[in-house]
């Protein structure tokens, strides 16, 4: 296991799309994405905005989750992420600010929801590398954030999220986030150094986490809000990069149901399940206590319990400092299994069948 993850030639041969390199450069991506977002032309009028919505699916839709956990405590209006075709809630209308995010610009659910939001008279900003989303923005006269092409959506979280945060800052709907972005970038640079492929397994937190997951079924837990977003993202990354099953949940909700489920199939769960707890320094004190108690109650039911903590003071730094190392770990899981972490053949096959059945 450790030898395979320290074999740089093997990594290069397996990783055909260099998704590992894209995530190692996440700090630079976030810096560039913030600049792109601050330069979005023709943003909508912020006067009278009563609600904010982010439309997106998969790796693009996570931008809405991250945006929500970062700005919601400081936002004077409600914000919601919608991951579907619609129909949209009736309250979405001319006083709603809508961000439609699709890395390719061709995600059919997002395009459909965007068209409905436009018909409702919503104020819209699109984020994509091109595709129908950009074409609709040009046709409808909408603000558009043009982000670089050539990456996987899940390796483009910075490009998809930072323009939304930048637009909210420019429109003065949230306090200036520049200091938060600066802090996050500095912390991400440190994580890139500690978790870089050149750093050997025994000194590399991301490789070490991957080694605890390979051959097991990971269940990722996070605290409501920021930690839950990171947990969900890690689960998705394990699915897409590791090509393996993974599950997630959030505290305190899981203590009202899922915790009971560990009482059966002990022989299986002790052998094959690992729980990863993603903890935030600003978790509610009772949630922190619940993490401790939950670990004690289920610890004997699983092969291992692993804890990771976020870094930094700002919500943006804390969530991204959980996302980056776990994303690297998910890539290392795929590499340890001997699979190319980039392509998602099953998703492409599904999309083709959908195209064949319009």
Indicate which residues carry an active-site annotation: 240, 256, 351
Q: Which residues pair with 144 in a beta bridge?
A: 126
Residue 87, preceding bond cis, omega within 30 degrees? yes
Burial (CB < 10 A; 0-12, 13-18, 19+), residue 75, is: middle
The phi-psi region of residue 315 (left if phi > 0; otherwise alpha if psi is between -120 and 50; otherwise beta) is alpha
Cα–Cα distance, 208 to 213 (Å, whole number) = 9
| Strand boundaries in 152-236, DSSP class E | 217-223
Residue 305 CB contacts under 8 Å (≥ 6 apart), including other chains: 274, 275, 276, 277, 295, 298, 299
Q: Is the dihedral of CA 84, 66, 5, 214 positive or negative?
A: negative
Cα–Cα distance, 253 to 23 (Å, whole number) = 31
Identify whether the C-beta of residue 351 lies closer than 8 Å to the C-beta of residue 109. Answer: no
């Amino acid at each position: 296991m450790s030898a395979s993850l320290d074999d740089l030639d093997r990594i290069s041969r397996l990783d055909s799309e260099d998704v590992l390199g894209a995530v190692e450069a996440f700090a630079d991506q976030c810096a560039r994405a913030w600049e792109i977002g601050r330069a979005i032309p023709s943003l909508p009028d912020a006067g009278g905005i009563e609600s904010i919505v982010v439309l997106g699916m998969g790796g693009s839709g996570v931008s809405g989750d991250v945006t929500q956990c970062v700005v919601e405590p400081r936002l004077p209006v409600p914000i919601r992420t919608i991951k579907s075709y619609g129909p949209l809630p009736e309250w979405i209308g001319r006083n709603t600010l809508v961000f439609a995010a699709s890395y390719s610009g061709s995600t059919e659910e997002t395009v459909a929801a965007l068209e409905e939001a436009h018909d409702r008279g919503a104020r819209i900003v699109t984020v994509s590398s091109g595709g129908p989303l950009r074409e609709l923005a040009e046709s409808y006269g909408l603000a558009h954030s043009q982000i670089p092409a050539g990456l996987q959506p899940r390796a483009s979280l910075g490009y998809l999220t930072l323009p939304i945060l930048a637009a909210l800052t420019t429109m003065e709907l949230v306090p200036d986030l520049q200091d938060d972005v600066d802090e996050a970038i500095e912390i991400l640079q440190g994580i890139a150094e500690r978790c870089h492929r050149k750093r050997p397994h025994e000194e590399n937190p991301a490789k070490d986490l991957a080694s605890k997951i390979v051959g097991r079924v990971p269940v990722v837990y996070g605290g409501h809000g920021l930690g839950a977003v990171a947990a969900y993202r890690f689960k998705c990354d394990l699915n897409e990069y590791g090509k393996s099953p993974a599950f997630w949940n959030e505290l305190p909700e899981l203590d009202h149901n899922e915790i009971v489920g560990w009482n059966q199939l002990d022989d299986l769960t002790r052998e094959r399940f690992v729980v990863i707890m993603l903890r935030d320094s600003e978790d509610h004190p009772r949630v922190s206590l619940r993490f401790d108690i939950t670990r004690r109650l289920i610890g004997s039911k699983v092969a291992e319990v692993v804890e990771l903590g976020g870094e930094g003071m700002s919500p943006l730094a804390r969530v991204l400092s959980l996302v980056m190392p776990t994303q690297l770990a998910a890539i290392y899981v795929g590499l340890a299994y001997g699979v190319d972490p980039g392509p998602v053949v099953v998703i492409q096959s599904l999309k083709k069948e959908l195209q064949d059945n319009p």
